[in-house]
Amino acid sequence: MGALSISVVIPTHDRRRLLPRALASVRGQSLAPRQVVVVDDGSTDGTSEMLRRDFPEVTLLEQQQCGVSAARNRGIEHCTGDWIAFLDSDDEWHPRKLERQQAALGDHPEALLCHTDEIWMRRGTRVNQKKRHAKHGGSIFEHCLPLCCISPSSVLVHRSVFGVVGLFDTSLPACEDYDLWLRITCRYPVLYVDEPLVVKHGGHADQLSRRHWGMDRFRIHALEKILADDVLSPRQRAAAAATLAAKIRVYGNGAAKRGKRDEAERYFAKLGAQLDEEPDHGTAPGR
């Protein structure tokens, strides 16, 4: 198998301090990508100037701030490689990340998406992942329902997949990756490399998961979309519907607890149910 033609897409916003670490990990790959595309999503901290000075090999695209989905989509549209890898600007790759994925795809040429295990760091300290965060290969749609179980920074995906499932949903301010993985995994099996080839750094204030309360409302939207699409098998549809009902109930009760009763009742109406008088404080899948 010859070297894969790989384009790397890195969306960024005001991460001039963190972005060089991500780009250095791409520069250090044992299998060099064909192209690196950085989409500067309206940064005001000198990110673009730093890139032009220190990383002149990068294809730099600048735009007004439109969000991570629009930034990734624009990057995808400018890719020249047959395979597309994503890297968040606060993460970094193991030096052999792309090489190990190419080897795995050589053994499984039918695969169109390959992802890997990862290491989690929070404010410089390694964090152990819980059992619910375990990664899988094969037909993993049902594993993807409770929460996002594919890291964008670990993915290598053939560009033809986007022609079938579409791009990232720009209407979602968060959980846009969860939405995309549902659309992909209901159609395609995925390949999993059981090695921690990505380091995810968390704990900083600008992470999307820290900006939005009630992240499950975005997952609810994604589940409603996939259920409205005529693509799921009967088993997939039943599993998605059950997950949707569970997330609506927990999100609705959480909204009520926060005094957002109109919001809670609007979500419970989706179930044809009434809001619990005593909010259920249980934990939803993916929480």
Distance CA 32, CA 55 (A): 15
Low-confidence ranges of the chain (pLDDT < 50): 277-287
Question: Do 218 and 173 meet the contact criterion of CB atoms below 8 Å apart?
Answer: yes
Distance CA 287, CA 276 (A): 20
Distance CA 117, CA 136 (A): 9
Distance CA 5, CA 81 (A): 5
Domain ranges, ordered by start, for the chain: 6-208, 216-271
Q: Which two tokens stand for residue 174?
A: 């968060």
Residues 6+ apart with CB under 8 A from 244: 220, 223, 224, 227
The packing angle between helices 261-271 and 234-257, to 10°, is 160
Question: Do 50 and 20 meet the contact criterion of CB atoms below 8 Å apart?
Answer: yes
pTM of the model: 0.90
pLDDT tens, 238-279?
999 999 999 999 898 888 888 888 888 888 888 775 555 444
CA-nearest of 187, 103, 189, 117 to 150 is 117
pLDDT at residue number 282? 39
Distance CA 91, CA 120 (A): 10
Task: Tell me which architecture the domain covering 6-208 has in CATH.
Answer: Alpha-Beta Complex (3.90)
pLDDT tens, 69-109?
999 999 999 999 999 999 999 999 999 999 999 999 999 99
